[in-house]
Amino acid sequence: MITLSRSSGLTARERARRAARGGASRSVPAPLLAPALVAVAFLVLPLAGLIIRAPWGRLGSVLSGSDATQALQLSLWTASVATMISLIIGVPLAWLLARGSFPGQRLLRALVTLPLVLPPVVGGVALLLAFGRTGFLGRYLDSWFGLTIPFTPVAVVMAETFVAMPFLIITVEGALRSADQGFEEAAATLGATRMTVFRRVTVPLIAPSLGAGAVLCWARALGEFGATITFAGSFPGRTETMPIAVYYALENDPDAAIALSLVLLLVSVVVLVSLRDRWLRGGSAP
């Protein structure tokens, strides 16, 4: 508004000159530039610190150590399983939230996205109280089947799924809402059953967002700390994931903590690059 009224006070020649240059929108006002640069420094400098302090010479030996390898393997497979589960049960839920129409739908949406804003450690406590050995569900698992979930890799996967699945659900739900329903209606008119429409039309239509949601979900699962350490505890090779290994290594061997952090940083960068690619395609698809 302000820039508009200001530019209207300019001479016609000046206005034309600015328009040719790309308009006032191209130049960054100084009051915005300075804080923006502070923000950039704040976000980038800590990462630089990680790279500057990295024990490049010892990197190989630290990362090939059994604890680090175990933690990395555990993190990779649990995050992948958590993502698979999220895809299998989360995508149908996203469809239900986007296309369904039933009472309590908004409440349901709020409930399933709650873990997104809930502090993860609270999620861990909640899981422990539900599925722990004395939890209201875990009690029966223990007495009927002799199954105890806490302190097992299953608990790690559950904690990660609990925290990460909402990322997939909201991404896919958003895509389903904005996708052109004309294709689905056309398919239905041509005699396709609802399930065929979902499989052959809807899923390919939202594929880019599905991919982005899955990557986001996987990255969140990989970085999970609070819910995992609360519900699954920590034991090397069984429940000690990368973030937990970083946390403990900082006390014992800071170089190892930095090396492990670098690996997670690298994974994050790869995730970001792949996400950006998918998001670009997602934008051009419809």
Q: Which is nearer to another protein, 129 or 271 (CB)?
A: 129
Neighbours of 91 (CB within 10 A): 22
Q: Which of 8, 64, 66, 134 binds another protein (CB under 8 A)?
A: 134
Contact flag: residue 235 with another protein (CB under 8 A)? yes
Contact flag: residue 70 with another protein (CB under 8 A)? no
Q: Closest approach of Cβ 238 to another protein, in Å?
A: 8
Q: Look at residues 230, 243, 209 and name the one whose alpha carbon lies nearest to residue 76.
A: 243
Residues sharing a CB contact under 8 Å with residue 99, sequence separation 6 or more, in sequence order: 176
Q: Closest approach of Cβ 93 to another protein, in Å?
A: 29
Contact flag: residue 66 with another protein (CB under 8 A)? no
Contact flag: residue 226 with another protein (CB under 8 A)? no
Q: Closest approach of Cβ 75 to another protein, in Å?
A: 17
Alpha helices in the chain (DSSP H): 2-8, 12-21, 30-53, 59-63, 66-85, 91-99, 105-117, 120-131, 138-145, 153-178, 181-189, 194-197, 203-205, 207-222, 226-231, 242-252, 254-284
Q: Which of 90, 115, 124, 132 binds another protein (CB under 8 A)?
A: 132
Q: Which of 53, 58, 99, 133 binds another protein (CB under 8 A)?
A: 133
Interface mask toward another protein for 145-184; x: CB under 8 A: ---x-xx---------------------------------
Contact flag: residue 251 with another protein (CB under 8 A)? yes
Contact flag: residue 141 with another protein (CB under 8 A)? no
Q: Closest approach of Cβ 74 to another protein, in Å?
A: 14
- What residues from 192 to 211 belong to the interface with another protein (CB under 8 A)? none
Could you give the C-alpha distances from 147 to 74, 82, 132, 150, 157, in angstroms and in order?
21, 20, 10, 10, 16
Q: Closest approach of Cβ 164 to another protein, in Å?
A: 22
Contact in structure between 258 and 50 (CB atoms under 8 Å): yes
Contact in structure between 76 and 243 (CB atoms under 8 Å): no
Contact flag: residue 252 with another protein (CB under 8 A)? yes
**DSSP states along 159-211:** HHHHHHHHHHHHHHHHHHHHS-HHHHHHHHHTT--HHHHIIIIIHHHTHHHHH
Contact flag: residue 243 with another protein (CB under 8 A)? no
Q: Closest approach of Cβ 87 to another protein, in Å?
A: 29
Instruction: Tell me the residue type at 63.
Output: L
Residues sharing a CB contact under 8 Å with residue 173, sequence separation 6 or more, in sequence order: 94, 97, 98, 109
The 8-class DSSP code of residue 283 comes to H
Q: Which is nearer to another protein, 201 or 259 (CB)?
A: 259
Query: Per this entry, what is the length of the chain?
Result: 286
Q: Which is nearer to another protein, 201 or 249 (CB)?
A: 249
Which residues contribute to the site for another protein (CB under 8 A)? 128-129, 132-134, 148, 150-151, 229, 232-236, 239-240, 248, 250-252
